[in-house]
Structure 1
């Protein structure tokens, strides 16, 4: 299996497969230095883009430095993340044809003020990259304001 990074209609650059990938296959590992959320917030305070992956409750993050950092969010993904013994894998949840962009649902939950608008363009787009729980939490907070 080979992955390439090229232009994406979802967001700037995306990760694509050049070969067919079978359902259940691990595609890539999300790697990079592990830092605290506070360190990440300080490092990337004014950065327009980050490639951070939250672990556990989000107090620890991976500062992405790998091919997997180019895998974009989609509300109708072809992959999901799987944490195995502290390692984060991107795994196919369906068969993926050669030439297809690899995607997974980010399920963001960090509570930052930014809206994290989704640009996946799928028929089931929920309009945000936030998790369902985060969306509910934000709606509840707006109602109590």
Structure 2
């Protein structure tokens, strides 16, 4: 796959945060929810596809692009067959980010630019 190429659509039920969050609490350790700019989410745990298994990296080889109520994953770099696909989760956390929350979302990607967290830059600076 060449840089810029669309790889996969992130599929799942388009819903509100509240019902999706309730489902996530029962599946501790996994987050299959992708936020949309209008406040709704795509819940990959309901009717999702393999895109829900994309892992986080601080130096990702893919990016997510929102088009309407859909999310598409595009290559940021050339990707060879067998390469693992990574996106920067850029998680947004409401309220104060405690040490417990930081520990829950610690990153071990090993990139030279690793920020040690799956939490997005803006949330980290607050």
- TM above 0.5, one fold? yes
| More strand per residue | 1
Structure 1 consecutive aligned stretches of length 4 or more whose deviation exceeds 3 Å? none
Which residue is 2:57 aligned to?
74
1:111, distance to aligned residue in structure 2 (A): 2.5
Which residue is 2:73 aligned to?
90
Which residue is 1:12 aligned to?
none
TM-score, normalised to structure 2, is 0.84
1:123, distance to aligned residue in structure 2 (A): 1.7
Which residue is 1:128 aligned to?
117
TM-score, normalised to structure 1, is 0.74
1:43, distance to aligned residue in structure 2 (A): 2.1
1: distance between equivalents of 2:21 and 2:54? 21
1:38 and 2:21 matched = no
Which residue is 1:118 aligned to?
107
Structure 1 or 2, whichever has the larger Rg, is: 1
Number of residues paired by the alignment?
Answer: 116
Structure 2 gap ranges (5+) = none
1:29 and 2:18 matched = no
2: distance between equivalents of 1:52 and 1:72? 13
2: distance between equivalents of 1:47 and 1:127? 23
